Amino acid sequence: MKKKILHLLSSNAYSGAESVAIKIISTLSDEYEFAYVSPKGPIVEKLKENNITYIPLKGMNPYYVNGILKSWKPDVIHAHDFRASIASAFTSYSCKRISHIHQNPEWIKRINLFTILYSLSSLKYNYVIHVSKAIKDEAVFSKLMRNKEIVLSNYVDITDVYNKSLSSEEEIFDLAFVGRLSEVKDPLKFIQIVRTIANKKPDIKAVMVGDGELKDLCEQKIKDLKLINNIRMLGFLSNPYPVMRNSRLIVITSKWEGFCLVAVEAMALGKPIICTPVGGLNEIVNKECGVFMVSEYDVSEKIVNILRDDHLYNSLSLNALRQSKKFSNRENWIKTLNSLYN
């Protein structure tokens, strides 16, 4: 009989952590029986597409989680990020627990209610997975769980990314922003960078792929800065890779990043990365395949230089593709997960 692994997530949308959970389940479905547990929302359709067993969660608290655990009886709880990890820890159900941390928000760097709660809950975890060394190094609670911690970078199937990028997409863009339109991703900064570039290159063409609570604010800022002819907003796309393939540079303006799947996926398509030097991005991007932002004016100058210098662009592009292969070791990724589940 297969071991039963329950993936627990607090979000009901599809983003980074959710895509990782789905990839784990899809990759190891022949070896284990999986269930995906989260509140109802847009994620349900994505789970249907991938034929993944879904159990709806009424609310992310130990009482509701405990009810599902007693009913489904998993051998392992694989909880993603802080809320789900804490909720799983304070249930009475007995089994192996894994806390999988995908983010490194500012609050993990100091002692506060959230870090204290997570530290207390860590007593119940058998393992803690960090998707980057940056999270492990920055978290104040890391010292309490040194014997449980493991750094496991997200696996990216670069062949799959390339194949999905081949869908027809005719429009060519200079810059692309791909991500949630939320404060942590800072899409307004991307718009401001395009404005600065437009002062020197009025024909700059940019695209924004994603949806979120800052959508209306982004649309208004584009109008206010008179960038309607420069920036196109496409909303959420289930397959953003054709747009990424037809964009020369990918710009990531995040205030923090635990890992950043978008960066690796873009590099797998040979796209140089322009990004903020935060969290896991420091482990993914280097000066051979991208540029770190120092200031808005400085990065705008560098973007224009790259767009105008084909030799420089081609060198960055080739190195981006090479760098992406460091995150495509499927065998090692599977081996590590199997060791944690067994």
Q: What is the pLDDT of residues 31-75, one digit of tens each?
A: 999 999 999 999 999 999 999 999 999 999 999 999 999 999 999
Alpha helices in 73-213 (DSSP H): 81-89, 113-121, 133-138, 158-164, 187-198
- Region 230-251 average pLDDT: 96
- Other beta carbons within 10 angstroms of residue 48's beta carbon come to 10
CB < 8 Å & 24+ apart, contacts of 179-182: 179/209, 179/210, 179/252, 179/254, 179/262, 180/15, 180/210, 180/211, 180/212, 181/208, 181/210, 181/211, 181/212, 181/213, 181/214, 181/215, 181/218, 182/212, 182/213, 182/214
pLDDT band of 294, cuts 50, 70, 90: confident
Q: What is the pLDDT of residues 179-199, one digit of tens each?
A: 999 999 999 999 999 999 999
Q: What are phi and psi of 265, to 5 degrees?
A: -60, -40
Q: What is the pLDDT of residues 137-173, one digit of tens each?
A: 888 888 778 789 999 999 999 999 999 999 776 799 9
Instruction: Provide, rounded to the nearest whole percent, the portion of the chain with pLDDT above 70.
Output: 100
Q: Can you name the CATH fold of 3-152?
A: Rossmann fold (3.40.50)
Nearest to 249 by CA among 184, 167, 187, 194: 194
Mean residue pLDDT of the chain comes to: 94
The whole-angstrom separation of Cα 213 and Cα 156 is: 27
Instruction: Provide, rounded to the nearest whole percent, the portion of the chain with pLDDT above 90.
Output: 85
Q: Does position 296 have pLDDT exceeding 90, yes or no?
A: no
Pair 269, 244: CB distance under 8 Å: yes
Helix (H, G, I), strand (E, B) or coil at 127: strand
Name the residue ranges covered by the structural domains of the chain: 3-152, 158-327
Half-sphere exposure (CA, 13 Å, Cβ side) for 329?
10
Q: Can you name the CATH fold of 158-327?
A: Rossmann fold (3.40.50)
The whole-angstrom separation of Cα 278 and Cα 259 is: 9
- Region 276-291 average pLDDT: 94
pTM of the model: 0.88
Q: Does position 233 have pLDDT exceeding 80, yes or no?
A: yes
Domains 3-152 and 158-327 equal at CATH topology level: yes
> Radius of gyration over alpha carbons of the chain, in Å?
21
Q: Does position 212 have pLDDT exceeding 80, yes or no?
A: yes
